[in-house]
Chain A
Amino acid sequence: MTAAEQFQARLFDDARASPRYASWLDRGPSLAALADAPLPEPRSYTWEYSNPNPWYEQNARRTDNRPNAGKVVASGGIRVADFDAADSRERCIIEANLNATVDRRRYSLAAVNDVLLCGGVVIEVPERARDAEIELGHLTGGFERVLLIVGAGAEATLVETPASPTHRVVECLVGTGASLRHLRLQGAADSFEYQLVSTRVEAGASYRFGQYAQGSGMRRNDVHIESAGDGADIGIRGAWHLSGQQHLDTQVNVHHGIGGGTSRQTVRGVVNDRAKAVFNGRIHIAPGAQNTDAALSAKHMLLARTAQAYAKPELEIYANDVRCAHGATMGEIDGDALFYLRSRGIGEPAARHLLIAGFLEEAMADHGREEARALLSPGSLQPGKLPRPLTRKEGSAFRLPADAYFHEKLS
């Protein structure tokens, strides 16, 4: 029995007892989804470079009922309610909208989140609200859920600074003509984490998502964004700077279900020491979603001979009148640029910092730039001990994997 199967078996055992948190919430569909779609196994198609097993081990014991200890700071006529303390109107809203955007067979760890839920908030931004701001810090530290509903024509900003470890699923519903800026800052940690952001963007709405992160023992960030109306405008910015043994796996899926939408993804990653960065950026254009304009740019910079980067920019296109492009690069600091700066009297460490900062800056939006800089600037990281260079012999010890061209453990 694999770790995933053990975890799942225990989950079903536990689910027989009535949940203590928000017991009115129907966990049935999530359990059904888990029964259909197995939990991710190591080396499976979407988990090729990240091992979920430590996550199962870490979360094997049933988490206690921890009420929302953290705080949600909100301004601008926003309504916030804890799932456990929701009144009948709020319960109706939660029941109608929770998991509306989450495919629990695809994101089966989000279904686990439902079953083991120990804290959740629903946030409602009224229609045509202006300057609504929400700050979301630490909530419970366990399996937690955020449901954000932005009313038609409203303008809102969500800033997330989740403390580690957190297993947070954030669902955002951006109403017609509304605009949401979503900033998420993830500091360094040692734990194993899974997080999902799932957003639906309606016609004429705009969604700007900025994710700036350092790594953890294994941090997996799934991002699923659906363009559900004509003129939906999606912008994703991601920057990460990893050091030590950190591991960060970011999987973005932009789904253009209806035509006439626009999406842009810009990602920059710097990887040092023995860290590992994984990025998968997918653009999916459904049949009939004509006049879609989608683009992705992902660049990684490796700073050490033991650092690793894996990128997979994917296109899946079922409509012909579209504009789609993606680009991805990997490399090191530009030697010419470094030489130029040094020839102007800037010392090598400072010049390197400057070039790294400039590289990361490409993926920073105006909103949250300061916070992102503070989180990712080369000076703010613990400089890891440089590993010894690899010898030629070690390098050539590589052998071809005996299995198929691409990993086929999916079945």
Chain B
Amino acid sequence: MAEGNETVHERLSSEYSAGFVTDIESETLPPGLDEGIVRQISSKKEEPGWMTDWRLEAYRRWRTMRPPRWAHVQFPPIDFQAISYFSAPRGNRPRSLEEVDPEILRTYEKLGIPLHEQEALAGVERPNVAVDAVFDSVSVATTFRETLRDAGVIFCPIADAMREHPDLVRKYLGSVVSRADNFYAALNSAVFSDGSFVYVPKNTRCPMELSTYFRINAQNTGQFERTLIIADKGAYVSYLEGCTAPMRDENQLHAAVVELVALDDAEIKYSTVQNWFPGDAEGRGGIYNFVTKRGACLGARSKISWTQVETGSAITWKYPSVVLRGDGSTGEFYSVALTNNRQQADTGTKMLHIGRDTKSTIISKGISAGQSQNSYRGRVRMNPAAEGARNYTQCDSLLIGDRCGAHTFPFIESRVPSAVVEHEATTSKVNDDQLFLCQQRGIDPEKAISMIVNGFCKEVFRQLPMEFAVEAGKLLEVSLEGAVG
């Protein structure tokens, strides 16, 4: 028994493998936020005048707003004047991969993110993934831009898109998540520094998976990125997002906005594996992940699918939503949220049915361990014109240990008789019989728990692209270390 505990202890101390700091010179704006800082960020990004005005308007709106208080999370008030809103590796922006600081390349190598455009890996053919790597406030590298350009797909940092494709950015930026949508979205609109922009033209299937990898490195900074993905009529794109940060004792703020637009018959699949630093076992440090993600199914028969695996962050406040405006459009939300130690998560989705015959599916799996609190919060709204709309929601919670909490707050609203809404939720602990069966066959308790948890999340993992599904499974295993014993 003592030996077993020792092994657990050993593995615990190495739990967050992405927690290292990259020692590079960076250029950071002083902490604090006022109109001057907003203007500085805008001028550093060499933005057009309309964009500076857009930001300033967002900043003025933000000043009149208050942080949301309804979420089931607790944390001391954030001092927004103590945060630095811009940090970038020093030097000119690299034009190609060769020019990227080798220290940064090594960081991504350590994290297992392929920034080299290799065709094959260890003799095994493997599908290419185009990566946009965002380091603190700026995008440092975007791979496969040429290949994608040949297919007509635009995949670039959003700052580049503002200069190269101003019409598209102007038309869609803020069209799904407005500048005044909520406190954190307004803050993001004022100070966002980078992020990815994707446009897939008509009747085009994006030839490879697109991916953005977010890394917070600098101390006392926040990361505020903005992603905008537009799938034109009949287009298809699959997009992956990953994130990590160093281990630090202070809390850091990450307030991103993601907007998706799907026109007629288009499909967007957005997958996230979120592994921000969750804080240590005592709840010191960790990322505050306050993110607004929303997709608009504008066109008929369009589809937006969110898949998320959330294992990191000290506090998660995140509700990827779909506005189902086009007739016959489909929204999906698949989520695994795991909290351990003192993590707090308040996450879920919103499905707003506006068009006729719209469909949505919500599958949410919450796992709480240690002293963590894990809440599902969702809203399904059937508007008067949503004739024949359907929603199915299933949220299951699994509790590991007797000091954690699992909560469910679903809002169900219907104003149309022919719409059908079904919601079910269950809460249980790890089944003793299953655990016994595994142990009886020589599987140690920790491994057995991780197997059971993997089975519990199977429905969600199935939705992830293959490489991500493997990563997600491993991530759960690591995050659960020390939860039993």
Contact = CB atoms under 8 A, between A and B. Distances in A.
A316 B410 CA distance: 12
A1 interface: no
Contacts of B299: none
A3 to B, nearest CB: 22
Contacts of B406: 315, 317
B180 interface: yes
B352 A400 contact: yes
A323 B355 CA distance: 38
A289 to B, nearest CB: 10
Contact of A331 (B408, B417, B428): B417
B354 A396 contact: yes
Contacts of B66: 408, 411
B321 A405 contact: yes
Contact of A317 (B292, B354, B427): B427
A402 B186 CA distance: 11
Contacts of B413: 308-310
Contact of A404 (B181, B403, B428): B181
Q: Could you say which of B182, B386, B416 has the most chain A C-beta atoms within 10 Å of its C-beta?
A: B416
Contacts of A307: 415, 417
Contacts of B377: 406
B255 to A, nearest CB: 13
A234 B68 CA distance: 35
B410 A329 contact: no
Nearest to B415: A308
B278 interface: no
Contacts of B416: 302, 305
Interface stretch (B209-217, B304-312, B332-340, B394-402): B394-402
A235 B406 CA distance: 23
A408 B319 CA distance: 15
Interface residues of A, number: 52
Interface in A362-400: 390, 392, 394-396, 398, 400
A317 B405 contact: yes
A328 interface: yes
A325 B408 CA distance: 10
Nearest to A390: B384
B68 A312 contact: no
Interface string B415-456: 111111111111111000000000000000000000000000
A305 B415 CA distance: 7
B60 interface: no
A319 B66 CA distance: 33
A407 B407 contact: no
A290 B403 CA distance: 11
A325 B422 contact: no
A313 B423 contact: yes
A392 to B, nearest CB: 6
B424 A326 contact: yes
B432 to A, nearest CB: 10
Given A320-B399, A395-B385, A398-B385, A311 B424 contact: no
Contact of A325 (B69, B181, B321, B427): B427
Interface in A305-358: 305-332
A410 B68 CA distance: 9
A405 B321 CA distance: 9
A312 B378 CA distance: 10
B58 to A, nearest CB: 13
B408 A402 contact: no
B463 interface: no
A411 B69 contact: yes
14 contacts: A287-B402, A308-B413, A308-B415, A313-B423, A315-B425, A316-B407, A326-B425, A327-B425, A328-B410, A332-B418, A390-B384, A398-B384, A402-B178, A404-B183
Interface of A: 45, 287-288, 290, 300, 302-332, 390, 392, 394-396, 398, 400, 402-408, 410-411
The 9 closest A-B pairs by CB, nearest first: A395-B385, A404-B182, A320-B399, A332-B417, A302-B417, A315-B408, A324-B427, A330-B414, A330-B421
